[in-house]
Amino acid sequence: MSKANESCKQAPGKIVPLIDLNRCEGKGPCVSACPYEVLLVKVSSKEQRTGLSIKGKIKGFVHGWKYANVIHPDLCQACGECVKVCPEQAITLVRREVKLT
């Protein structure tokens, strides 16, 4: 757990992380940084891979199709720790209406 929960002011689940699969390389610092276990790195499904750019497909193949996944969106408190630690700048926080990856 980080100190992020001390500064999280958003009600859980209203703002959630959106992962850009064309950028994510599945390295996982976001998983470690999240105080609420919202994220998990796992191998993507074929459905998740549709829509990737050519560069995204090459990157995905190289890193074994591993990506950060939002597994518990209801627990996200929008503290932004995952955004700060992502080396690929693959995470943005969005309002819940946006389809999650």
Contacting range for ligand SF4; rule: CB under 6 A; set: 20-28, 36-44, 49-57, 60-68: 36-44
Residue 82 binds to ligand SF4 (criterion: CB under 6 A): yes
Out of 21, 24, 68, 76, the residue judged to bind ligand SF4 by CB under 6 A: 76
The minimum distance between CB 82 and ligand SF4, in angstroms, equals 3
Report the alpha-carbon distance of residue 100 to residue 65 in Å, rounded.
17
Non-local CB neighbours of 73 within 8 Å, separated by 6+ positions:
13, 16, 38, 96, 100
* Tokens 């390389």 -> residue: 25
Q: How many residues bind to ligand SF4 according to rule CB under 6 A?
A: 15
92: its two tokens: 């943005």
CB of 50 within 8 A of CB of 77?
Answer: no
Residue 68 binds to ligand SF4 (criterion: CB under 6 A): no
Q: How many CB atoms lie within 10 A of CB 19?
A: 23
Per CB under 6 A, contacts with ligand SF4 among 1-20 are: 4, 17
Task: Point out which residues bind ligand SF4 (CB under 6 A).
Answer: 4, 17, 33-34, 36, 38-39, 76-82, 93
